[in-house]
Amino acid sequence: MANKAVKVGLLGLGTVGGGVARLLMEKRAELSAYLGVDLQLARAVDLEPARAEELGLAPGVFSSDSWSILEDGDIDIVVETVGGLEPARAMVLTALNKGKGVVTANKALLASHGVEIFQTARQQGVGIAFEASVGGGIPLVRSLRDSLAANRVTSCLGILNGTCNFILSRMTAEGAPFDQVLAQAQEKGYAEADPTFDVEGTDTAHKLAIVASLVTGAQPRLDDIPTEGITKITPLDIQFAGEFGFKIKLLAVLNNQGGKVEARVHPALVPHDHLLASVEGPFNALHVNGDWVGQVLLYGQGAGRRPTASAVVGDVLELARDVAAGVPGRVPPLGTQASGGRRLDLAPLDDARCQYYCRFAALDQPGVLASVARELGSFNISIEKVTQKGRQEAGPVPIVMLTHEAREADLRGALKKIDALPEIVEPTVVIRMA
C-alpha cells in the first residue's frame, strides 16, 4: 500500500453521519486496500459527545467545533451530514473555498443552492459528490451523470419518497384512510413526527430538482416545480383507480422531449403493468427513458442509515481516488464541462399534456353526466372511460371519468365551469395519469 493517506472530516454524527463513521472505521483496512491509500476518519464533529462515545471514536478524532475541521489543513475531504440550509451551506462553501473535496447527502441544500455550490467547486478545482442526496443507496446520480451520459434522457418518472410510498401502499392494501396509515408510518419510523416535508411533496421536489440538473446540466428554481402531496388521496380514489387498472403513486415527473423541460411532483395513476406499479412500501425507484438505451429502472432502499451511509462512503472513495491521483475535481459536479451556474427554465404547468382522472360529486338526478360531458367538450376534452355508481349512503353520487390526453389549462378551465354547476356539490378530485 502506498504511504499517502487521505483524511476525512465528518460533520454530524446523527443517523446518517453515525452510519458513515461506523462504516469508515469498520472497513478501514478493506477500503484502504481497495484505494491503495490509507483512508482515515481523521476528525468528526457533533454537538452531542455521547454519540462519539457510542461509536467508539479514536482519541483526538471527536470535536464539538465544526469549524475546526474546515480550518484543518490536513483534511482532504469533508462529509456534510448536518442537513438543512444553514449552517450547512456556509460549511460546504468554506470547505470548497479551502480546497477540500465535499460529500453531501443534503438534497434541500443542493436543490436550493446547487448553482452557487457547483460554481464554487468548479472555480476551486475540487470535487463535490452527492450520490446519497437522491434515492439513498440507489446508484442514481452516477447512473444519470456517467453511465447514461451518451443518451438524451427523454423522460424520468420517480418514486423518490419512501414515506409517501409506504402510506399509499398501505392505503391500497388495507383500504384505510390517510390519517390512519400515517400513524402506522410514524410508529414504524418511516414518517417524522411532523411529516409535512414528505407528505406535501417538498422532499420529492428537492430530489427532482437534482435529477433535472443531472439530465440537463442546468438547475431549475425550486419554486418553479409545481408540487402536490398525497394528503387529499382517499380510499375511494384508490378503489376507483384499481377498478380502472391503476395504482396511485406520488411521482416526480420529468419530460425532456425537446423545447422547454417539464418538471412536476404530484400523485399519479400508474398502470398495473408499469414497472413502477410494483414498487411498494418504503422503497424508491426511478424509471428512465433514454434515446439509445431505452427503458432503465433504478430501484432500491431510498433511505435509512445503512443504505445512505453506503452511498456517502462510495462518494468518499470516488473523491479519495482523485485526491490520491493528484486530480481533484476531475469530474464536473453534473458531469459535463458545460454545467454549473446555469438556470433551467421550466415549461409552465398550464402547457402540460396528459390524461386525467376526475371524480365528480354529484346530486343523484338525471342529466348530470350529460352536463359534465358538455362542459368538458366545450374545452375540447374527450372522455375515454366513465363509471357512475349509485349512492350507498346519504350524500352525493361519485362519477369518475378518465379523459383522453388534454392540456392542463383546458382541464382547469372546464373544471371551473363544472364545479359551478348546481348539480356538483363538492370540488372535483383530479389526479394526473403517468
Write out the E strands in 309-423.
343-344, 353-354, 356-362, 383-388, 397-403, 406-407
Of 188, 194, 190, 173, nearest to 238 by C-alpha is: 173
Q: Is 16 annotated as a binding residue?
A: yes
Long-range contacts of 421-426 (CB under 8 A, 24+ apart): 421/371, 421/372, 421/375, 422/363, 423/362, 423/363, 423/365, 423/367, 423/368, 423/371, 424/360, 424/361, 424/362, 424/363, 424/368, 424/372, 425/361, 425/362, 425/363, 425/396, 426/361, 426/396
Whether 188 is catalytic: no
Q: Is 411 annotated as a binding residue?
A: no
How far is 56 from 376, CA to CA, in rounded Å?
66
Q: Is 107 annotated as a binding residue?
A: yes
The C-alpha cell that represents 39 in the structure block: 483512508
Of 112, 347, 109, 107, nearest to 223 by C-alpha is: 112
Q: Is 100 annotated as a binding residue?
A: no
- pLDDT (0 to 100) of residue 1: 40
Of 287, 20, 22, 25, nearest to 132 by C-alpha is: 20
- pLDDT (0 to 100) of residue 145: 96
Residue ranges of the domains in the chain? 5-139+305-344, 149-301, 349-433
User: What is each CA distance from 291 to 126, 142, 150, 153, 334, in whole angstroms?
Assistant: 32, 18, 9, 6, 19
Residues of the chain with pLDDT under 50: 1-3
- pLDDT (0 to 100) of residue 393: 65
The C-alpha cell that represents 110 in the structure block: 443542493
Q: Is the pTM of this model over 0.85?
A: yes
Instruction: Say which CATH architecture domain 149-301 belongs to.
Output: 2-Layer Sandwich (3.30)
pLDDT digits (tens, 9 = 90+) for 319-367: 999 999 999 999 999 988 765 567 899 999 999 999 999 999 999 888 9
- The fold of the 5-139+305-344 domain, in CATH, is Rossmann fold (3.40.50)
Find out whether 409 and 350 touch, Cβ atoms under 8 Å.
yes
Q: Is 200 annotated as a binding residue?
A: no
- pLDDT (0 to 100) of residue 259: 83
Q: Is 11 annotated as a binding residue?
A: yes
Q: Is 228 annotated as a binding residue?
A: no
How far is 189 from 378, CA to CA, in rounded Å?
48
User: Is CATH 3.30.43.10 correct for 349-433?
Assistant: no
Q: Looking at 7, 100, 207, 249, which residue is catalytic?
A: 207
Q: Is 13 annotated as a binding residue?
A: yes
Decide the pairing of beta strands 294-301 and 283-290.
Answer: antiparallel
